[in-house]
Amino acid sequence: MPQINGTGNVQDELNRMAPAAAHAKLGDVLNDLITKHNALLVKLDADTGVNATDYTATLAVITLPNR
């Protein structure tokens, strides 16, 4: 997808979008949250005590670098 004024790196743009976001590293926090969420879904799929095994296929979130 072409970028008009951006760098094409969503995580970096979120980190630099405002002073408060830069201080909190908003892009890094969101990417870490998404990564941990997806890892939890993989663990649920592998857990034999959980009936469903399609959590990753249905609930996974695309990480920021892949957007």
Q: With contact defined as beta carbons under 8 Å apart, do 55 and 45 qualify?
A: yes
Residue type, 63: T
**Overall pTM > 0.85:** no
Q: Give the position of tokens 């857990």.
A: 47
> What confidence score (pLDDT) does residue 34 get?
96
The DSSP call for residue 8 is S
Say yes or no to pLDDT of 2 above 80.
Answer: no
Question: For residue range 22-46, what is the model confidence (pLDDT) as tens digits?
Answer: 788 888 999 999 999 999 999 999 9
